Structure 1
């Protein structure tokens, strides 16, 4: 499958994005209207005046071709599954996507990957985004535990591992913004204060998402940032790398992070 030529679909149906979403219903079992609302919540574009021009800019930058090459390299590196990658414009109205993530976002499902991008993104940025999201898919496939059984610890390790893959492949200048929100000693304190006793909370619950995203009185992007620091600490102590960590259980990674597991 690999990178799909979505530029053709967007050029044809830019003003009717639900029609594009019809093509995704075999990967996400929703009606096209509900599926569009779901993808907008993750960063997919809503039509704006002159927005189609961005498609041409991305084509001129050869975004589809360059990410197709990167995808093949990632597949070989991580020995991952061959799934479709759908590149779509991002939502200019989504302030979080535009301000914090420079107009880009991603969504990894078990059998499909979505990248929401803008003409302001460099190819290197998009390669890092693809690395992060494709690593999620490889982790899901390498792990025997079904996603419905994931705990907050599993999700945190998933995010931390994906950013470590970005580091190994592209260097720390392409880290996600939340990596730098807190120093290691702050992450250790947050782990003990907020998450350690709740690490078995199941995915799909409100509390899982509240901890992960740092909503309410919790520090912003709490689970993501602490997960990153746990993986980094584990790598520093154990000298493991992305490929050796890919199939490793979240609890084993936590045990390897000696600064946290005390």
Structure 2
């Protein structure tokens, strides 16, 4: 299916609630306001001006994503899914500071990208690579997303960021993957993550540890996931297609053995 013509939707009416009416067929048992609230948590805009949309069209955001997606899908032999592109919520300090004005969220059967009006090619490729890697890995496993444990999610994020490093370049990595030292991450693994690695989404600790909320370090799960995956990669030299199928337990067991030997 590829890139959906959401630019046409936005030109007709950019009201995000009306936009989300178009998405109801893709979200079971959710109304347009619930869909917008959910997508806004991942970066979808709350309001946007016509000149902003015109700038996105001028910079051919939809066409560039379409080209990058077709290239990536052919290279990875991944599934053909719909991609929805919308303006990013520029009022979010987190998105401006840590995500450099771009964000995304993926599901097994669809992908959303939230982008600034002058987003560069590297930022486009970074979001697309990270989120499409999720889709490729999810498509290779029967386990439903609602049954994913904390460690499943941590390794999923680490593998996706590894794909960004290998596909786009180390300079494209998110800021938090280099924020903490290996020693810090090892301590936090033993102190917080390992005892809670099997909690599921309905447990408050799942979100707290994955995103570093409450008193936990910012984006803890993401940073640790990348550290664990890269520790494995240094010895085993993972190629991208292997990262779609490699078991979580295999990566974690190797990481723990390395830590024990330090």
TM-score (normalizing by structure 1)? 0.94
Instruction: Evaluate the alpha carbon distance shift between residue 170 and residue 113 of structure 1 in structure 2; reply closer, same or farther with a 3 A threshold.
Output: same
Q: 1:172 offset after TM fit, Å?
A: 0.5
Question: CA offsets per residue over residues 104-150 of structure 1, 9 Å max, x none?
Answer: 11010121111000024212111111100111111111122221221
TM-fit CA distance, 1:260 = 4.0
User: Match of 2:26?
Assistant: 27
CA contact (8 A) 2:55 2:118 kept: no
When structure 1 is superposed on structure 2, of 251-260 and 231-240 the one drifting more is 251-260
The residue number in structure 1 matching 2:43 is: 43
Cα distance in 2, alignment partners of residues 260 and 137 from structure 1: 30
**Any gaps of 5 or more consecutive residues in structure 2?**
none
Q: Secondary structure at the match of 1:259?
A: helix
Q: What does 1:122-201 align with in structure 2 at a 5 Å threshold?
A: 122-201=120-199
The structural deviation recorded for 1:85 is: 0.4
Q: Name the SS for the 2:86 alignment partner.
A: strand
* Equivalent-residue separation in structure 1 for 2:31 and 2:243 (angstroms): 37
RMSD: 1.5
Distance 1:195 1:151 in 2: 11
Cα displacement (A) at 1:26: 1.6
Q: Name the structure 1 match of 2:117.
A: 119
What TM-score, normalized by structure 2, do the two folds share?
0.94
Query: Match for residue 91 of structure 1?
Result: 89
> Are 2:99 and 1:104 equivalent residues in the alignment?
no
1:223 deviates by 0.7
Secondary structure of 2:84's aligned partner:
strand
User: How many pairs were matched up?
Assistant: 259
Cα pair 1:234 1:253 within 8 Å, conserved: yes
Whether the 8 Å contact between 2:59 and 2:118 is mirrored in structure 1 is no
User: Are the equivalent residues in 2 in contact too, given 1:139–1:247 (CA < 8 A)?
Assistant: yes
